[in-house]
Amino acid sequence: MNSTEQYLVDEELWHYSQGWISRREFLRRATVLGAGAAAAATLGAITPAAVGAAPGAQVSPFHVPVGDPSVAADWVWYRSNGGVELKAYLAWPTDAAMTASLPGVAVCQENQGTNAYILDVTRRFAKAGYMAIAPDLVSRFGIPTDEFTEPTELTGAMRRLSDEQTPLDVSAALDYLRSHPAVDESKLAAIGFCMGGDVIWRLATMYPDLKAAAPFYGSNPSLDQVPNIRAAMLGVYGDLDTRTNVGIEALKDALQAAGITHRITIYPNSQHAFHADHRTQYNAETATQAWTDTLNWFATYLGLQPPTM
């Protein structure tokens, strides 16, 4: 099982432990992910909460609604290695001049594809003055996220993503930004959430022109590849995220030994996915702080003016 598959199974196990899905539904989803028998063996140690609907989500104060007049957005297709075409959501300030002046940022999704949250984050960057692109990773298989009608079908497509190929697809999205007439190709950044945080750590080891990156609660890249990182890395974690946090100390040691500019921040009273305002793990206070920290980090290492909040 690759890290993407393991991440997806762990997410469904979390949903089961919180009582959001039944044992039967968990096993159905785990089977789709090719881990039915192994997943069943883990259930004995878990006493789930009473089964019920997940609590309602909140809305980030940085939310940028569709149609905000300060932001333009569109779906585009771009080419990755091997000639495969991927769909992506592109957003930029409506008043941008096409004079190679905008910083560019790639936004890497969670395990739910380019959903409303990821599209909103992409628009948030546009509102902050960036040309932002969010690759729809499963679109490399011919069906974009918004065309799946059943969640387990999307889960099955996510399972097909490759640990090796996915960062290359995000690299190609950055190349798309570099070629855009509005983007300053010397000012490139990347951010990713959950599974996307994993991807951004790996991307940073293979994309030397990346200037700054902010993986949110992402698992470690191969530590022997850490010396290849050239970007200034802001690692964002929640103190209650015991699964992801296991690797932090080893990663910090590797970054320090390699002389990589970095800051690892562990936000208090925060679970995995605490920035995602469509999830019940959302923590409004620390999500706001992490977003502000990210914009300031990018501004510092892309040579931009500090953001105004």
Catalytically annotated residues: 194, 241, 272
Q: How many Cβ atoms sit within 10 Å of the Cβ of residue 303?
A: 12
Q: Is the Cβ–Cβ distance between 145 and 88 less than 8 Å?
A: no
Q: Would you give the DSSP letter of residue 113?
A: B
Apex CA 183: angle with CA 216 and CA 233, to 5°? Answer: 25
3-state DSSP assignment of residue 258: helix
Contacts of residue 89, Cβ cutoff 8 Å, sequence gap at least 6: 73, 74, 75, 114, 118, 119, 122, 133, 134, 136
Q: Environment class of residue 297 by beta-carbon count within 10 Å: exposed (0-12), middle (13-18) or buried (19+)?
A: buried
Q: Which residues face 264 on adjacent strands?
A: 235
Per-residue b/e over 246-262, b at no fewer than 16 CB within 10 Å? ebeeebeebbeeeebeb
Q: How far apart are alpha carbons 252 and 256 in whole angstroms? A: 6
The stretches of the chain forming alpha helices (DSSP H) are 3-17, 23-32, 36-42, 116-127, 151-159, 165-178, 195-204, 242-245, 248-258, 284-302
- Residue corresponding to tokens 């690797």: 247
Closest by Cα among 128, 72, 92 to 295: 128
Q: In this structure, what token pair is assigned to residue 14?
A: 């979390």
Q: Environment class of residue 70 by beta-carbon count within 10 Å: exposed (0-12), middle (13-18) or buried (19+)?
A: exposed
